[in-house]
Amino acid sequence: MSEPERRRTPEQLRSHQWYGSEISSGLRSFSHRARTRQLGYLPEEHLGKPVIAILNTWSDINPCHVHLRDRAQAVKRGVWQAGAFPLEFPVSTLSETFQKPTPMLYRNLLAMETEELLRSYPVDGAVLLGGCDKSTPALLMGAASADLPAVFVPAGPMLPGHWRGETLGSGTDMWKYWDDKRAGLIGDCELSELEAGLARSPGHCMTMGTASTLTAAAEALGVTVPGASSIPAVDSGHDRMAAASGRRIVELVWQDLALSRVLTREAFEDAVTTVLGLGGSTNAVIHLIAMAGRAGVTLTLDDFDRIARRVPVLANVRPGGGPYLMEDFHFAGGLPGFLSRISDLLHLDRPTVNGTLGQQLESALVHNDDVIRLRDNPVADEGGLAVLRGNLCPDGAVIKHIAAEPHLLHHTGPAVVFDDYQTMQRTIDDPALGITADSVLVLRGAGPKGGPGMPEYGMLPIPAYLLKEGVRDMVRISDARMSGTSYGTCVLHVAPESHIGGPLALVRTGDPITLDVAGRTLHLGVPDEELERRRAAWTPPPERYERGYGALYHEQVTQADTGCDFAFLARPGAAPAPYAG
């Protein structure tokens, strides 16, 4: 199915309601044109041309986006070249590193800002600049709800890290060497060198963490120009991609290709297939479900598990595979090369912002079969995630089993329960807790409401005395998320969360817990009658927020299995267009 050619006239542009094309079209148009002259433009520079909003998440505080100020200029160049009128809008920045307790608390706020900004201003199409973890879903959720033509410009991965001849992956090697420090294998001098070597340039994390996973998902959804997601942030090609995105959005506006015509059920199935075949971040589960919801598509945990069983992991990129990083993936063919290896599992005739997906992949090549593996030599036979069910997670839980020690994928052990992250951090190294390599570490109070914002606490630390004995993985269970750069046998996103009385709230230290990844189960070995007694005695924790955004978040956020969107944003229904008169 090739994309139908709709052509709009200047009078059919949304922005025409603000500016008009004739001097006589009303007082408001007169005022808007006068104010545009105040901005320094002549009427012929903007009248009758599509207005393209460039939503920029640049900020001094966000090292993953610090180059986006320049990239916005490249987008503008492309928009002007294509005969349209670019306007840059600064929007919230979500810095995974610096924003506390977690930028996930603010994903829906940026989504809301994106939607309302696109709705309330004279905008015909949008270019969205983001990439650090939550910014990609936030921008796309908001743009999907506004439903204008839009192109996403991924921030691009930073350059690979280096230390003493080793290549470092951001996040992944930070955790690894931090554990080495706790185990006494390296000291402050080495740690100081590592600090200088981990992050060498602007750009998002260069492992297949959450940022790379979600920008790849955006490309698979069909909302970027081809090959955009893996271009290193500081590569000249990134500037060229940004300019190409500016040119492309103008054509999409004339075609009237609103996001709803791209973000179809088939597009989301392909994005799930992509994430699983990349061995991508568990965070993608929550974000894709939320993005799909905004596009009117029902995506469930079962879709992930169903698709995972038929998609091999082909991206040999850390932390799910390795030793490679995103720059290697880019030079091996990037996402087009990767998608060409699984094209039989994709919907090739669906529309993207560049024609059909099949057309986009016609010239795709793979240049390195060790980075992007052949189908008969996968990194893993099945997609990188599994969805678990059981009496401990009736609404589901997720595990990235390809990043786990194989011997722990079927494991029974006694629970050691922590009620909150701070207590766990303070006490985890205390031998009096009796934690052994067979213990199952349980953290609760870290879900969407309990965290709040479901922080990335899911890779619970291993006690230092076990690290010194060489233990590097244990079964860990929480209602938290986990950084896409993390690894280990970590059961995440347990739903419903403990804060609202999910079964995780009822676990006691010493209870046996069985994880069976092949059977897709997580079971608490406590009789139902005893669980009912515990439930009757359970009291909900006190609420933290009496006012403000936190109170709104707490009231409206949904559980992990439905994407943690706000209920009032996720529900279908009309939002009237503004009256521009």
- H or E stretch covering 523: strand 521-524
Tokens of 338: 């990767």
Toward ligand FES, which CB reaches closer, 132 or 495?
132
Cβ-contact 531, 503 below 8 angstroms = yes
- Nearer Cβ to ligand FES (96/270): 96
Q: Which is nearer to ligand FES, 156 or 396 (CB)?
A: 156
> Which CB, 64 or 75, lies closer to ligand FES?
64
Count interface residues toward ligand FES (CB under 6 A).
Answer: 9
In angstroms, give the least distance from the CB of 131 to ligand FES: 7
- Shortest Å distance, C-beta 486 to ligand FES: 11
200 binds ligand FES (CB under 6 A): no
Ranges within 481-500 binding ligand FES (CB under 6 A):
none
HEC assignment per residue over 261-301: HCCCHHHHHHHHHHHHHCCCCCHHHHHHHHHHHHCCCCCCH
Contacting residue, 53, 129, 132, 460, with ligand FES by CB under 6 A: 132
Q: Name which of 96 and 497 has its Cβ closer to ligand FES.
A: 96
The values of phi and psi at residue 69, to 5°, are: -60, -45
What is the closest distance, in whole angstroms, from the C-beta atom of residue 291 to ligand FES in the complex?
18
Confirm or reject binding of residue 204 to ligand FES (CB under 6 A).
Answer: yes
φ/ψ (deg, to 5) at 256? 60, 45
Q: How far is the CB of 358 from ligand FES (least distance, A)?
A: 31
301-326 residues labelled b (16+ CB within 10 A) or e (exposed): bebbbebbeebbbbbbbbbbbbebbb
Q: Does the protein bind ligand FES through residue 133 (CB under 6 A)?
A: yes
The answer to whether 474 and 441 are in contact (CB under 8 A) is yes
Cα–Cα distances in Å, from 368 out to 78, 275, 323, 371, 381?
Answer: 32, 20, 13, 6, 19
User: Least distance to ligand FES from the beta carbon of 210, Å?
Assistant: 7
307 touches ligand FES by CB under 6 A? no
Report the nearest approach of ligand FES to the CB of residue 542 (Å): 32
What gap in Å lies between CA 406 and CA 32, rounded to an integer?
64
Alpha-carbon span 320 to 385, nearest angstrom: 10
CB of 205 to ligand FES, least distance (A): 3
Residue 514 main-chain phi, psi, to 5 deg: -115, 125
Give the span between the Cα atoms of 213 and 205, in whole angstroms: 10
Q: Smaller CB distance to ligand FES: residue 148 or 155?
A: 155
Q: 213 vs 360, which CB is nearer to ligand FES?
A: 213
Stretch that binds ligand FES, among 204-212, 219-227, 362-370, 425-433 (CB under 6 A): 204-212
Phi, psi of 218, deg, nearest 5: -65, -40
Is the CB of 64 or the CB of 252 nearer to ligand FES? 64
CB of 322 to ligand FES, least distance (A): 17
Cα 101 to Cα 89: distance, rounded to the nearest angstrom: 26
Report whether 19 contacts 33 (CB < 8 A): yes
Site string for ligand FES, 78-117 (x = CB under 6 A): ------------------xx--------------------
Does 300 help bind ligand FES (rule: CB under 6 A)?
A: no
In the bound state with ligand FES, the residue whose beta carbon lies nearer, of 32 and 69, is: 69
The reply to whether 271 sits near ligand FES by the rule CB under 6 A is: no
Is the Cβ–Cβ distance between 403 and 487 less than 8 Å?
A: yes
CB of 171 to ligand FES, least distance (A): 6
Smallest gap from residue 481 Cβ to ligand FES (A): 13
Nearer Cβ to ligand FES (206/346)? 206
Q: Name residue 163's beta-bridge partners.
A: 166
Q: How far is CA 249 from CA 153, 246, 361, 374, in A?
A: 11, 6, 20, 34
Q: Shortest gap between Cβ of 527 and ligand FES (angstroms)? A: 43
Per CB under 6 A, the list member of 126, 205, 252, 393 interacting with ligand FES is: 205
Q: Going edge to edge, which strands form the sheet with 125-130?
A: 85-90, 51-56, 125-130, 150-154
Q: Considering only residues 64, 105, 440, 569, which one is a binding residue for ligand FES as defined by CB under 6 A?
A: 64
Residue pair 450/480 in contact by the 8 Å Cβ criterion: no
> Residue 420 Cβ, how far from ligand FES at the closest point, in Å?
24
Q: Which stretch binds ligand FES (CB under 6 A): 112-120, 201-209, 281-289, 457-465?
A: 201-209
* Closer to ligand FES by Cβ: residue 133 or 173: 133
Least Cβ distance, residue 96 to ligand FES (angstroms): 4
Query: Which residues on adjacent β-strands are paired with residue 461?
Result: none
The residues, ordered by sequence, that sit 6+ positions from 360 with a Cβ below 8 Å of its Cβ are 222, 226, 336, 352, 354
- ∠ CA(453), CA(457), CA(459), 5° rounding? 145
Say if CB 496 and CB 538 are below 8 A apart: no
The CA distance from 91 to 59, in Å, is 9
**Is residue 211 at the binding interface for ligand FES, with CB under 6 A as the rule?**
yes
Q: 66: closest CA among 201, 184, 224, 258?
A: 201
The Cα 128–Cα 72 span in angstroms is 10
Q: Which stretch binds ligand FES (CB under 6 A): 159-167, 203-211, 379-387, 540-548?
A: 203-211
CB of 111 to ligand FES, least distance (A): 18
Q: Please, which residue, 204 or 449, has the CB nearer to ligand FES? A: 204
214 lies in the binding site for ligand FES (CB under 6 A): no
- Cβ proximity to ligand FES: between 279 and 502 the closer is 279
Closest CB to ligand FES among residues 211, 462: 211
> Which residues form the interface with ligand FES (CB under 6 A)?
64, 96-97, 132-133, 204-205, 209, 211
